[in-house]
Amino acid sequence: MIVKNNKFTSFALFLIISIFMFSFSACSLLGPPTEDGKEEIPSGIKVKITIEEGMTLQQIAQLLESNGVVDNAFLFRLFVQQKDKERNLAPGIYDLVTGSKYEDVLDELVLGPPIVTYTVTIPEGYTLDDIVKKYSLELPFIDAAGMEDAVKIHNYNYDYLEGTGSLEGFLFPKTYEIILDYSPVDIIGMMLAQYQFETGDLDYSFAVENNFSKYDILIIASMIEREAYIPEERELISAVIHNRLDIDMALWIDATLCYYLEKWEEPLTESDLETDSGYNTGLYTGLPPTPICNPGLASIIAALNPADVSYLYFVVTNSETHEHSFADDHNEHLNNINNAN
């Protein structure tokens, strides 16, 4: 007759159950086992992670684990679900750090990807072509062809553009903050809106009294911008331009012809001065057809507020400072030329 040892049987059963429960608990805590031979990724390294629109939490967690951002995709997934944030993970491009805490990673994914901002400074006196080149060179997501198309006037319907054929002069010089979502048209539209904002409250009574349109003032301002190197001379150069216009005298502003010929760095030749163009203000009286650059606010204000002087001439007499000397008559002007250094 065989006698059963109940104490031994109960102990063995308890031992088996305990081992099973320990194994189950360990698996629950650690998640699925890692692949054999998987190379460990060092902590503290920045990695770029792209979370695509429509990715599931499981896909996101696996992406984070494969790049070493979290140590275990399964546990990270449970952590997100426990926080009830599964639907709050924003798609986008992130710079995350390997070996991060789950809470830190979740906070970044809920906050959303950082907004990448580019700062571009457009100086006073830049032309349309200069602006196209500037943006094309400094913004990696903008190409020259797109910018060239964006500066065509038919893209915009601002009231102050009515009757003009070019955006030249209206792209307000300033430092602009530009994000990746901006198209070339968005960028140019922002510059046009800035022009409207900056000039909207200016006093144009002088223009009205002297039969100048706002566009005429912008053309004069563009010439002042190209000619004045010293701020204090803006109103004086403005006076020379207005005084000459008053007596129908040719302006003889070389910058207008330089603009037409796209010849800013080299001196104008005798043949250049014979160019048959409305931009040749030595050959034709009155204003050139369009602004010759995009002037800043100070030059626009100077065009509206010429100095109360009778000057008709100016010439650079200091090649280092670009300081001008002004004269009422031609003989005085020739004397200034002879004394220039």
Contact 175, 134 (CB under 8 A): no
Give pLDDT tens digits for 272-308. 999 999 999 999 999 999 999 999 999 999 999 999 9
End-to-end CA distance of the chain: 131
β-pair partners for 118: 178
Question: Domain residue spans in the chain?
Answer: 46-111, 117-199, 205-338
Q: Contacts for 10-13 with beta carbons within 8 Å, 24 or more apart?
A: none
pLDDT of 32 strictly over 50: no
Q: In 10 A of CB 163, how many CB atoms?
A: 7
pLDDT of 220 strictly over 60: yes
**CATH topology for the 46-111 domain:** Dna Ligase; domain 1 (3.30.1490)
pLDDT at 39: 65
Give the mean pLDDT of 102-121: 93
Alpha carbon distance 329, 309 (integer Å): 13
β-pair partners for 318: 323
Least confident of 15-19, 34-38, 71-75: 15-19
**50-87: buried (b, 16+ CB within 10 Å) or exposed (e) per residue?**
ebeeeeebeebbbbbbeebbbbbbbbbbbbbeeeeeee
Q: What is the DSSP letter of 292?
A: S
**Residue carrying structure tokens 């048209």:** 185
Phi and psi at residue 96, to the nearest 5°:
-110, 165
Q: Chain-wide mean pLDDT for the chain?
A: 89
**Contact residues for 293 (Cβ-Cβ < 8 A; gap 6+):** 124, 125, 126, 127, 168, 169, 222, 225, 226, 259
Give pLDDT tens digits for 172-181. 999 999 998 8
Outline where DSSP puts E strands in 42-173. Answer: 46-51, 92-97, 117-121
pTM: 0.75
The HSE-up count of residue 189 (CA atoms within 13 Å, CB side) is: 9
Give pLDDT tens digits for 65-107. 999 999 999 999 999 999 999 999 999 889 999 999 999 999 9
Largest Cα–Cα separation, the chain: 144
Alpha carbon distance 150, 182 (integer Å): 12
Alpha carbon distance 323, 175 (integer Å): 27
Give the mean pLDDT of 28-47: 63
Closest-CA residue to 58 (of 39, 42, 75, 77): 77
Closest-CA residue to 303 (of 225, 197, 198): 225
Alpha carbon distance 88, 261 (integer Å): 57
pLDDT at 40: 76
Which one-letter amino acid corresponds to residue 271? S
Alpha carbon distance 229, 234 (integer Å): 8
What DSSP line would sit under 176-227, residue for residue? EEEETT--HHHHHHHHHHHHHHHHTT---HHHHHTT--HHHHHHHHHHHHHH
- Would you say the C-alpha torsion 195, 198, 200, 202 has a positive or negative sign? negative
Give the mean pLDDT of 36-43: 69
- Report the relative pairing of strands 46-51 and 175-179 from DSSP bridges: unpaired
pLDDT at 51: 94
The residue with greater pLDDT, 38 or 243, is 243
Contact 238, 220 (CB under 8 A): yes
Percent of the chain whose predicted confidence (pLDDT) is above 70: 89
- Would you say the C-alpha torsion 199, 203, 208, 210 has a positive or negative sign? negative
